Structure 1
Amino acid sequence: MFAAGTATTATVLEWGMSESIKNRSAMKKAQDEVRGIAKSNNKSMIEEKELQQPHYLKVVVKEILRLHPPAPLLIPHELVEDCDIEGYFVPSKTTVLVNVWAIGRHPDSWVDPEEFRPERFISSNIDYKGQDFALIPFGAGRRGCPGISFAMVILELALANLLLCFDWAMPDGMNNEDLDMTEGTGLFVLKKTPLLLVATRQALDSNSNGDW
């Protein structure tokens, strides 16, 4: 339970920052949005009660979860009855592993599935709550992840404040294209090479009494 509540969120956050640094336009849109919200509320941090305001940040998070579900095979499921799936007979008591990673990149469901494109969700009703089977990073139905609400608050809050408080760059003059996006192996899909970025504290607005 502790692993599910910590390792998964940290994994998604690392992939999120990786995709953001490789896709500068998406990062700038998300930064401009959260900084505008913080400034309009006269605050130096995004708080949980403000998480309903950033709309672009939410589609960024959806795209991160589509490309990088932290548990690519979910937890094992067992069939309670015989079933037929596209001509394949699967008997009851069979242990089934659902490949969420492959579902999120399937060309029948997604246009240019390998590209990081948050805008694909702007005019789409597809969500990650288990009702749309093209995007099920938390599973679906009665066996879906019970911590989905907690996980999304923590993820959105952490990502929003990382983008709000800092400008990010590759170290030692490296280009964005130099970032290694190779995936590791294991129960959770971590980056094979841990992410290393340079953070520069965002300057305060001199007219905001110490806030953004």
Structure 2
Amino acid sequence: MELDFNLKALGITIISAFMFLWLLPLGRVLKKKCRKYPPGVRGLPVIGNLLQLKEKRPYSIFTQWAKKYGPIYSVHLGAQKVVVLSSAHLAKQALVTKYMSISSRKLPRALQILTRDKTMVAMSDYGDEHRLLKQVMVADLLSSACQMHNRFRREEMIESLIQSIHRELKGQARLVDLSKHFKRELFSFVLKEVFGREVESIYVEELGISLSQCELFDIFVRDFIMGAVEVDWRDLFPYLKWMPNNKFERRLMEIEATRTAVIKAMIREQKQLNNDIPGEKAHCYLNILLREERNLSENQVEMLTWEAIIESVDTVSVTWEWLVYELAKNPKWQECLYNEIIMICEENEKDIGEEIVGELVYLKAVFEETLRKHPPVPLLPLRYVHHHVNIEGYDIPPGWQIAINAYGCNHNEEDWKDSERWDPERMLTSKKIEGSEKTFIMTFGDGRRACAGKMKATLILCTSLARFLQHFRWELNCEDQEYLEEIVDRDSLTMRKQRSFLAIVTPRNVCS
């Protein structure tokens, strides 16, 4: 009897084990079927939604799809599955609440080359190296103490901007390229901040030529912005990575090699100047990095030096373009700001300074509304999902990617009524704090990867705009229809206007 019982127990155990092994895959399938994935945009076999996104401005199409599918949906980019978030509420979940599940990036080949495989702080994965490099950048360039120390350089930049436009006007109204003036003065200021001196030109031994400041701008800023939007079709179909794409690789490698040669030349010149000049060295960002060489590799010093330039110039100059453009389209707000400034500055007896800018309520509203309507980086770099994550009830499995559509978030009709209209008044309502929070979440990011340059950018833009308003009145050139439209450069990573902004500028002292 006992033997029979043991045999029966053994038989039941074996049968149970077989049933468990048989039901386990079935359970996984059922569990997978029970998961709720974001709604998908219908596309074609193999290529998915690529043909629908053939433009280099996907944020606009993503925003249109959000109106149809909701603020969270998925698209197929070849073999890649991407979830698009188009509301500040959902973006904040991804950036803050669920951050640790999606903190890494799977960069396209163009950015892998141009960032030297994530050595750029803004594109690196969250980890020890990222924290070290960001700490260096914040402590030595972007902190409150650094902003106080570099205030005199910002004052010099703004004064030089005002004087250069006065010289061009010669006391009368003229058509002026405001973008060119601001970009030139800003780039000159950033070079002084990084290298501690005026950099008019540099001889690059590897290239065998001397480069002017204008050529340096193209190498450090323009070429990167143009190259970053280049698409390597192998990124979309990873199983075809074995196939060559020589033209793409050659172009990106040329951009990277030229930038590397110039950065190396500027660092060598800086070291030589430090050796030639006895005593205390100039207080500048690069000299601080050179003192940290024991803790930083040569590659890291080079990339930190370049990143300080690109991130201080491009997005700030883009925002300036939209600020002066919107105020040219809206002369009522331009005069409103001017009246606010002269009231605080005692009838224009003194130039406005950074300590007063914080008191200008209308200026802050104009600044925030411009960032809302024209976020300088409309589509944030993709984030890779390395752990299963649930956002707003939707399951997103590992291997998928998440795109935060900053433009779509700032044009979400549930948060911003009549979102296509530029209306600073909305920032002055009782919901101003709520609206301001939404605006800056999508402009400067949020959480651990929030933009550390927010204070610096705000000081430069608000102070220069306020000072510009004190001295000039400007309006659109109505004979040029292109400037009456908001045409964005499709070949730029940032939301830059297709052409530099020209306006009819009149000195205030000759205004009727």
Given the two structures, how large is their TM-score scaled by the length of structure 2?
0.37
Deviation at 1:195, TM superposition (A): 0.9
Letter in 2 for 1:142: R
Using the alignment, how far apart are the partners of 2:483 and 2:489 within structure 1? 17
Q: What is the CA distance between 1:87 and its match in structure 2?
A: 4.7
1:57 counterpart = 2:371 = no
The 10-residue stretch of structure 1 (190-199 or 76-85) with the greater mean CA deviation from structure 2 = 76-85
Residue 337 of structure 2 aligns with which residue?
30
Structure 2 vs 1, CA of residues 151 and 94 (structure 1 numbering), >3 Å: closer, same or farther? farther
Mark the runs of 5 or more structure 1 residues left unpaired by the alignment: 205-212
Corresponding residue for residue 112 of structure 2: none
Residues in 2 aligned to 1:72 and 1:82: alpha-carbon distance in whole angstroms: 26
* Alpha-carbon distance in structure 2 between the residues aligned to 1:115 and 1:192: 20
- Report the counterpart of residue 9 of structure 1 in structure 2: 316
1:180 and 2:488 correspond: no
CA–CA distance in structure 2, aligned partners of residues 193 and 137 of structure 1: 23
Greater gyration radius:
2
- One-letter identity of the residue aligned with 1:157: T
In the alignment, is the contact (CA less than 8 A) between 2:389 and 2:396 conserved in 1?
A: yes
Q: Does 1:150 align with 2:462?
A: no
How far apart, in 2, do the equivalents of 1:88 and 1:160 lie? 45
CA-to-aligned-CA distance 1:183-208 (integer Å, 9 cap, x gap): 1222101111321012211119xxxx
Question: Structure 1 90/98 Cα, relative in aligned 2: closer, same or farther at 3 Å?
Answer: same
Task: Give the aligned partner of residue 425 of structure 2.
Answer: 119
Change (3 A) 1:162 1:116: same
Whether the 8 Å contact between 1:109 and 1:134 is mirrored in structure 2 is: no
2:502 partner SS: coil
CA 1:141–1:182: 2 relative to 1, 3 Å: same
What is the aligned partner in structure 2 of residue 68 from structure 1? 374
Alignment match, 1:21 = 328
User: Secondary structure of the equivalent of 2:345?
Assistant: helix
Q: Could you say which structure has the greater relative contact order, defined with CA pairs below 8 angstroms and 6 or more residues apart?
A: 1
Checking the alignment, whether the CA contact within 8 Å between 2:372 and 2:439 is kept in structure 1 is: no
Shift of 1:182: 1.2
DSSP 3-state at the match of 1:199:
strand
Shift of 1:135: 4.8
After TM superposition, the structure 1 stretch with the greater mean CA deviation from structure 2, 23-32 or 149-158, is 23-32
Q: Aligned partners of 1:103, 1:191: CA distance in 2, in Å?
A: 20
Task: State the AA in 2 paired with 1:12.
Answer: T
Give me the whole-angstrom Cα distance separating, in 1, the residues matched to 2:439 and 2:480: 36
Query: Contact 1:104–1:134 (CA<8 Å) still a contact in 2?
Result: no
| Aligned counterparts, 1:39-58, within 5 A | 39=346, 42-43=349-350, 45-58=351-364
Answer whether contact 1:22 1:176 (CA < 8 A) is retained. Answer: no
- Match of 1:53, SS? coil
**SS across alignment from 2:505:** strand
CA distance in 2, matches of 1:29, 1:105: 25
Secondary structure of the residue aligned to 1:167 is: strand
Cα shift readout 1:105-127 (whole Å, capped 9, x = no counterpart): 11011111111110101121136
SS of the residue aligned with 1:136? helix
Deviates more, 1:65-74 or 1:177-186: 177-186
- Structure 2, unaligned runs of 5 or more: 1-306
RMSD between aligned alpha carbons? 2.4
Given that 1:67 and 1:114 are in contact with CA atoms closer than 8 Å, whether structure 2 keeps it comes out as yes
Moved more, 45-54 or 132-141: 132-141
Change (3 A) 1:175 1:26: farther
**1:90 aligned partner:** 396
Partner of 1:162: 468
Measured after TM superposition, the shift of residue 3 of structure 1 is 1.6
* Contact in 2 for aligned 1:31/1:163 (Cα 8 Å): yes
Q: Secondary structure at the match of 1:194?
A: coil
Higher helix share: 2
Q: Which amino acid aligns with 1:115?
A: R
Counterpart CA distance in 2 for 1:56 and 1:162 is: 15
Q: 1:110 matched to which residue of 2?
A: 416
1:28 and 1:133 mapped to 2: Cα distance?
24
Q: Deviations over 1:50-90 (max 9, x none)?
A: 11121100000000000001011134334453212345322
Q: Report % sequence identity.
A: 29
Residue 176 of structure 1, CA deviation: 9.1
Q: CA deviation at 1:97?
A: 2.3
TM-score (norm 1): 0.84
Partner residue in 1 for 2:499: 193
1:41 deviates by: 7.5
